[in-house]
Chain A
Amino acid sequence: MFLFRLKRTLKLGIKSLWMHRLRSTLTALGIIFGVSSVIAMLAIGEGASADAQRKIAQLGSHNIIIETQDPPEEKSSTGQQQTLKEYGLTYNDAERFRNAIPDVQVIVPNRRIPQEAQYRTNRASIEVVGTVPWYPQISTLQVQYGRFVSALDMRYKRGVCVIDDQIVKALFAFDYPIGEDIKLGTDYYRVVGVAKEKDDTPETRQTASSEATSQAGANVGTIYVPLTTAQDRFGETNLQMSGTSGITMERVELQEIVVKVNDLMQIIPAKQSVETLLKKYHKKNDYAITVPLELMKRQQDIQRIFTIVLGSIAAISLIVGGIGIMNIMLATVSERTREIGIRRALGAKKKDIIFQFLSETFILTATGGILGIILGLGIPSLVEYYGNMPTVVKISSIGWAFGISSAVGIIFGLYPAYRAANMDPIESLRHE
């Protein structure tokens, strides 16, 4: 009985909406855009956040990363440009961190040198990282074949190297790399291992490498050598040709020191100690400290604000859509005053009339909602494809969008339906 009524009422609703196709479509558009914008905005926000979180997580949540930075120029004090610049992190710094910070798990000093690598006739621009055997502990690097740099390599300053999977692709193609010699600068290094960053999904690798190749002279990959070997063979001085002042010499001991603590709670105090130490020994502002955990927290805050703002914009557009519906339904009700009077004379109760108009609103919002969901799912994939931005559609956001739109439909439909039901039957019948 109830189902039969529901069916008839919905059929009737569809019929009257169909009679005003254009009007109904335009009204539903408000809901379509509202719902799709809720879904799309949340998906884009969520995607950006997930991407950022993953990148930050790759830096290591227990790490404090201290990097050498080119200090601001001191031209003004001397009047002319220095030709030998000496700056950056030193081995002493690493030693001081080790002594001053309790609860340190490891400290990894790194030297990073851009180089040209050659295997037989294949060449590639790469980055040489002079590092210590415990480097894998502070990164997501995993040795796939062979081994990583060892303590003995360090002691004897051996000419060995570990290459990452990108280098394998670029230089070796089909050859088995281990045991082969690669030429870096003027010396040969024997490949003892192949390693790979763990968390990298193939997809992000691809975007990352396409980003990398788009930058002029960027590196194909990384080659790890013992720190002592790097120090010995590459020295600490870089020659740089610059257009305006000829040759500049730079002396940098270490490009990077990574401090890893045992306990997450120690991150902030450890960072403070690092800061104090650096302030004391580096008068020039030639370093930068990055704490991935802090970044992650900040990112989460930003994300929350982002979600709130995007969500509100989308919700407002849904409300605007709802007002559009209410507007149309009020017009429909006054247009159909006489019909309402007739139905009342023929035995319709107030609730029958409410049900009739509410079902029309419901049909409008439900179709609008479903089309909106389809569109809302389509937009993120378009953004992903053309905008090269990751997106994540959460099931909950679909639920939200549909819930809000149905609520909007019912709330904004109630008043017109209520008005229709409460019109005086006699006056409605007399209405022209």
Chain B
Amino acid sequence: MIQQYHDNLNFDTDKPILEMRDLCKSYFIGEGELKVLKDINLSITPGEYVAIMGPSGSGKSTLLNMIGCLDRPTTGEYLLGGAGVSTLDDDDLSSIRGARIGFIFQSFNLISQLNIIENIQVPMFYQGIPEYESAEKAIELAEMVGLGHRLKHRPTELSGGQQQRVAIARSLANDPLIILADEPTGNLDSSSGSEILDILHGLHDQGKTLIAVTHDEGIAKESERVIRLFDGMIDKEEYNQKRNER
């Protein structure tokens, strides 16, 4: 089933990499229904850099998790690479997450009992990549984010900025098409924050689709498109030309 799904995926540059049609997400608490996302219509093309903004509680993380196949819509459609996600079962979703999507979280979310290489290897392990191969790739990625000299360190021995760099390396382990970042600089000071942004921008320049939730207007200005959420609805979409000009 899942192999078939992967085969059906269509990642032509001119067709949208992901598409949402009238997507709604509700939480049911007791008797009441809490609508967190309301009629989201969204389409993102491959290689795009999208920032999602909005006040706290407006549904940014929920939307990002939806894009990342961590969650399913209550109603509406979500197409990833032209194929519907709603019909897939839990195993298929896991496999899509592992192979196609790289997650970067505000709180880094490294596994504390594993060292840097092992952390970067985790996604590759679940894709069944052999140890020697994944170790090689992990070292390569760690060097790319500038941590080649601290391969055996545990996350607790690293600064926040360094931890987030490991997380970026980890998100790249399976060469994902889409990188999702939920307030990637939210827990960092401005200098390590801009280091992280530089790496992310570099990835975008290499052609990765990048979707980032942020509170920082400065970051949003760097992106190609800003989606503003308000109370679970898309309030405004703004297009910037800036990055393309660079």
Contacts and interface: CB of A to CB of B under 8 A. Distances in A.
A4 interface: yes
B178 to A, nearest CB: 13
Given A8-B131, A16-B113, A348 B126 contact: yes
Contact of B97 (A4, A19, A345): A345
Interface stretch (B64-72, B183-191, B216-224): B64-72
A352 B126 contact: yes
Interface stretch (B46-54, B87-95, B138-146): B87-95
A182 B151 CA distance: 92
Contacts of A350: 90-91, 94
B125 interface: yes
A346 B90 contact: no
B99 A1 contact: no
Nearest to A15: B113
Contacts of A352: 94, 126
B124 to A, nearest CB: 9
A355 to B, nearest CB: 11
B130 A4 contact: yes
Given A8-B125, A16-B113, A426-B70, A346 B97 contact: yes
A324 interface: no
Q: How large is the interface on A (under 10, 10 to 19, 20 to 34, 35 or more residues)?
A: 20 to 34
Interface stretch (A240-248, A336-344, A397-405): A336-344
A352 B65 CA distance: 21
Interface stretch (B7-15, B75-83, B103-111, B230-238): B103-111
B25 to A, nearest CB: 11
A338 B90 CA distance: 19
B111 A342 contact: yes
A198 B74 CA distance: 86
B98 A346 contact: yes
Interface in A133-159: none
Q: How large is the interface on B (under 10, 10 to 19, 20 to 34, 35 or more residues)?
A: 20 to 34
B68 A345 contact: yes
A343 B113 contact: no
Interface in B98-153: 98-99, 103, 105, 109-113, 122-123, 125-128, 130-131
B131 A344 contact: no
A19 B123 CA distance: 22
Nearest to B71: A426
Nearest to B66: A426
Contact of A347 (B97, B110, B112, B130): B97
A21 interface: no
Contacts of A341: 109
A350 B97 CA distance: 13
Contact of A349 (B91, B99, B122, B131): B91
Interface string A1-27: 100110010000001100100000000
A345 B70 contact: yes
A429 interface: yes
B128 A342 contact: no
Contacts of A60: none
Nearest to B68: A345
A114 interface: no
Nearest to A352: B126
B131 A4 contact: yes
Given A8-B125, A344-B94, A345-B68, 10 more contacts: A15-B113, A16-B113, A339-B111, A339-B112, A343-B122, A343-B126, A344-B97, A345-B97, A347-B127, A426-B71
The 9 closest A-B pairs by CB, nearest first: A347-B98, A347-B126, A349-B94, A346-B123, A349-B91, A342-B109, A345-B103, A348-B126, A347-B97
Interface of B: 65, 68, 70-71, 90-91, 94-95, 97-99, 103, 105, 109-113, 122-123, 125-128, 130-131, 170, 174
10 contacts: A15-B113, A339-B112, A342-B109, A343-B126, A347-B95, A347-B123, A349-B91, A351-B91, A352-B94, A426-B70
Interface of A: 1, 4-5, 8, 15-16, 19, 338-339, 341-352, 425-426, 429
